Chains A and B, each alone.
Chain A
Amino acid sequence: MWKWLHPYADPERAYQLAGKLLPWFSILALGLILTGTIWGLMFAPTDYQQGDSYRIIFIHVPAASMSMAAYMGMAISAFIGLVWQIKAADWAAASIAPIGAVITFIALFTGATWGKPMWGTWWVWDARLTSELVLLFLYLGVISLYASFEDKVLAARAAGILAIVGVINIPIIKYSVEWWSSLHQPSTIKITEESAMPTEMLIPLLINIFGFGMMIGALTLVRFRAEVLARNGMRPWVRKLAQEQGAA
């Protein structure tokens, strides 16, 4: 059933596939984020209470939701790498971690700048904010574990276990605003019922969410290709590639 997937466990094939996918992800990311941001910042209607200040939502919500999606991607890659011992999956997990950390930081930072004028405070230790901060620390833990072993097989195993253990934080972030009373409001975008937002605000927001997803994909592909080359520097195909690129 999964036989068609097996060739891509081979570093060379994975490298080439990543190279083929990269332009598609990049074009989609650029197009979607430009459309969503311009639409959201300039053409979407103002909010009845927050006025124009609410427009930071077009960065904050995509960053926050994609910080969790990136973590799931990283954890699934780590799980595959751990169970099936596919090195390409380990490298993918290691490539996502720093990108996820930056996206999480963007979510926290935009949230704080939004919180100051609206709530009246930069930070409050409520369940949503704290669990998102824990997510940042999990990313940093995965990055440092992977970086601190000379033997990258061992490093990937250690980082992978942390990534898998950390998955428990994702539902906690997601449902923190429903399980406990918090300053942060519940989600506006609802999957099962109508979202608490008019369509002309919702569409640019969704465009930006997908745009951020594509951007994380594109950046991961770039880092993944670099990681494959770094781990396979002694292989003939990498040397050949280096010679061809060097000659050009």
Chain B
Amino acid sequence: MNPRRKKRLILASALVVGVAGIASLLLYALNSNLNLFFTPTEIVQGKADTGVKPEVGQRIRVGGMVTVGSLVRDPDSLHVEFKVHDASGGEIKVTFDDLLPDLFREGQGIVAQGVLGEGNVLEATEVLAKHDENYMPPEVAEAMGKSHDKLEYSDTQTSTN
């Protein structure tokens, strides 16, 4: 390889390595700030690395699984309450006053945005359904005992909105 090409090869490679280095340091420094949401455990016990807890009145996002059997719906309005938990055992309550997304089910992942109140209750202004990477035909899901029923809204519930 002639010296000029060699020099350019070294320069170009150094550029790639340098940028990769800067980016990894940057991302490492930002690490937990790039997470979209708090997990329920982080709200109850604080973040694992820093111990920082979100304050009451702070606007945050919470992500986790809707606890099966925790969903309580007001029959006359859109008000719903449910609990969200994660694998580490934390659990918080979420209240919400609007239509839930189609994929919202007990046992499914969600991300809720809202204001944290006293006693680890999140007053959500937005609830987003998180879906996992698993796809399967309904027959297979039924055979595996997975529930996939959508929430039904009654006329009184939808007309009050």
Contact = CB atoms under 8 A, between A and B. Distances in A.
B131 A185 contact: yes
Given A49-B148, A83-B9, A185 B137 contact: no
B130 interface: yes
Contacts of B127: 120
B8 A83 contact: yes
Interface residues of B, number: 40
Contacts of A79: 12
Given A83-B8, A180-B34, A182-B36, A47 B103 contact: no
Contact of A118 (B12, B15, B36, B103): B103
Interface residues of A, number: 42
A119 B103 contact: yes
Interface string A147-171: 0000000000000010011011000
B118 interface: no
Nearest to A198: B136
A233 interface: no
A201 interface: yes
Interface in B35-63: 35-37, 39, 63
Given A127-B34, A127-B36, A119 B130 contact: yes
Chain A CB count within 10 A is highest, among B12, B36, B127, B138, for B36
B140 interface: yes
A212 B66 CA distance: 37
A198 B19 contact: no
Nearest to B142: A48
A9 interface: no
Contacts of B35: 180-182
Given A48-B148, A49-B103, A181-B36, A164 B135 contact: no
Most B-side CB within 10 Å, residue of A47, A48, A54, A201: A48
A82 to B, nearest CB: 5
For B8, B133, B146, the residue with the greatest tally of chain A CB atoms inside 10 Å of its CB is B133
A168 B20 contact: yes
A4 interface: no
B155 interface: no
B128 A120 contact: yes
Interface string B6-47: 001100100110011001000100000011110100000000
Given A119-B128, A120-B128, A45 B137 contact: yes
Interface of A: 45-50, 54, 57, 79, 82-85, 117-121, 124-127, 161, 164-165, 167-168, 172, 179-183, 185-188, 196-198, 200-201
13 contacts: A45-B137, A47-B136, A48-B138, A48-B141, A49-B131, A49-B141, A83-B12, A117-B101, A119-B129, A125-B36, A172-B27, A188-B134, A198-B140
Interface of B: 5, 8-9, 12, 15-16, 19-20, 23, 27, 34-37, 39, 63, 100-103, 105, 111, 126-138, 140-142, 146, 148
Given A48-B142, A49-B141, 11 more contacts: A45-B137, A48-B148, A49-B105, A117-B102, A118-B102, A120-B129, A125-B36, A127-B34, A186-B132, A187-B133, A196-B135
